Structure 1
C-alpha cells in the first residue's frame, strides 16, 4: 500500500458497507460486476462504484477474460491476504499484507541489497 495514502481514506473505504460486501465476496470467489450484482443483490452501478473505490487503494485486482461468445469482461478478486489496523497513542496504522510471487520477492530483495 502506498504510504502516502491518508489512513482516513483507507478506513473510509473499508468502512463502506457495500465496499466491504464486494470485497468479502471476491475474497471467497472472483466475479464479474454482473455476477457480483446478482450474488449480492446490488445494482451494477453500485458494484462499479465500489470496484472503482477498491481499485483506487489497490485492494482488488482485475483481469480481462474472454467469454465463449468472444465478448470480453473483467473479473475481480481480492489483492491482499489480511489487514491489520492498530492504534498506538492517538494514531492509527493500517497494514495490508499481500501474497507476493517468488520473482517479485526476489526482485525486491535484490533492489534492497542495492545490487546492480
Structure 2
C-alpha cells in the first residue's frame, strides 16, 4: 500500500459487497471456491473473480489439497488479523495487521539488528 492508487484500489475492492462477503466467510473458516459459491449463493465465476482480487492485494492465501477422488482443489483463508483505515489531513492510510510466525519475526529482527 505504498502509493495512493493502491490505497484507492483497496478501498474500492473492500467497497465491493461480494468481495467483503467472501472475505468475511473465509476469515471464519477456510474453504474452497465451490464451498463459498454454495454457502454464499453466488456463481463460481463471481467467487473466483473476488478471490483473485483478494489474492492480488495479499488479503487471502490458499493451499492445494487433494480430494478423496484424487482431484486437486484450493482452500482459501484470510491472510491477516485486522485492517485499519484512517483519514487524516485529507489522506487515507490503510494498515493491514498480519499474524506473524514467531521464527520468521525473530529472523527479521535479527536481520534488522545486523544491518545497523
What range describes the TM-score normalised by the shorter chain of this pair? over 0.9
The within-5 A match list for 1:77-88 is 77-88=77-88
5+ residue gaps, structure 1, are none
Q: Does 1:69 align with 2:69?
A: yes
State the Cα distance separating 1:103 from its structure 2 match.
1.4
SS at match of 1:83: strand
The answer to whether residue 2 in structure 2 is matched with residue 3 in structure 1 is yes
TM-score normalised according to structure 1 size: 0.94
Q: Distance in 1 between matches of 2:16 and 2:46?
A: 12
Tell me how far 1:14 sits from its aligned partner.
0.9
Output one character per residue of 1:24-68: Cα deviation in whole Å (capped at 9) or x when no partner. Answer: 000001110000000000000000000000000000000000111
Which stretches of structure 1, 4 residues or longer, exceed 3 Å deviation after superposition?
none
Q: What is the total number of aligned residue pairs between the two structures? A: 114
1:54 paired residue number: 54
Normalising by structure 2, report the TM-score: 0.94
Higher mean C-alpha displacement, 3-12 vs 41-50: 3-12
CA RMSD of aligned residues (A): 1.2
Q: Please show how residues 12-51 of structure 1 align to structure 2 within 5 Å.
A: 12-51=12-51
Cα distance in 1 between the residues matched to 2:64 and 2:57: 20
What is the alpha-carbon distance in structure 2 between the residues aligned to residue 3 and residue 114 of structure 1?
25
CA shift at 1:107, angstroms? Answer: 1.4
